[in-house]
Amino acid sequence: MHRTVMDDDPEFETIPESREKVNNLFTLYSMSGDLDDFNSLIDYEYHTGLVTALMGQITTTMIVEFVRDTEEMIQSVAGNDIKTTITGILVIMRELVYLIIRSAFTSIVVSILMIFLISWIFFKKGLWALLSIMPLVSAVILNFGMMGLFGVDLSHITAILSAIIIGVGVDFPLHYIAQYRNISKSGIPSDSLTREVVEDVGYPIILDAVSNMGFGALLFSVFVPIQYIGGLLIFAMVSTSVGTLTTLAVIAELMKKKLTAN
């Protein structure tokens, strides 16, 4: 309407700067046009209005930033005098992303606690249970650290994939601990206990990790989330297997008197 009134000048294809000019435009339109044209945009008393915008392509990361910037812009312009509500598919997607991320972190914590409890029941010692989750906790921390180092955003995709580390790496420390307990009961000298365990379970653990690295083929996918799956699964295999054969082995060696005591 503004452009039409101003002799179809493209420079006036904007919202007038003052409220009085806006009122004048609506007054002119009410005298010559059909007021029903505004039924989907504003109520009859002109108290409530609807502003719509269409977007082409946008990523989930940009959705969060876009909605936040929109809310800040509206707050700076409208202040507290005008009550505004933002809705639409972008807002729904933002809340969905937040929900998935929170759920993924909850799943990680609950999974680690469940592994701790099951290991405690199975191995009948809290210290073994604590050692069984140590490589997993280290792998999760390293995973988020590597994501930050390489600039991988924390999104619903990467949060879900981070929870996969628990599933793919839980068997490595359990195999090591089970074999450690069996060999320690065989009467082997304590000085060679750790070396014997590593020689016995090291090859199967490395073989298992390397075979699962076949998921690395996903790195060549044109779909970025699939690339993340391949990269994170490779990292999960390396971090959990190496963590088991180094960190867990060293701690078990330092604490072997407590671990082998009846």
Q: What is the pLDDT of residue 121?
A: 92
What pLDDT digit, counting tens, does each position of 97-106 carry?
888 888 888 8
Whether the Cβ atoms of residue 106 and residue 98 lie closer than 8 Å to each other: no
Kindly report which listed range (116-120, 182-186, 230-234, 240-244) carries the lowest average pLDDT score: 230-234
pLDDT for 223-235, tens place per residue?
A: 877 887 788 788 8
Average pLDDT value for residue range 186-200: 85
What's the confidence (pLDDT) of residue 59? 74
**How far is Cα 58 from Cα 179, in angstroms, rounded to an integer?**
51
- Going from the N-terminus, what domains does the chain have, and what CATH number goes with each? 1-50 (no CATH), 95-260 (1.20.1640.10)
3-state secondary structure of 186: coil
CA angle 46, 47, 51 (to 5 degrees): 85
* pLDDT at residue number 116: 93
Answer whether 0.75 is exceeded by the pTM.
no
What type of residue is 218?
L
Return d(Cα 54, Cα 60) in angstroms, integer: 16
Question: How many CA atoms lie within 13 Å of 225's alpha carbon, on the beta-carbon side?
Answer: 12
Q: Which amino acid is residue 106, in one-letter code?
A: T
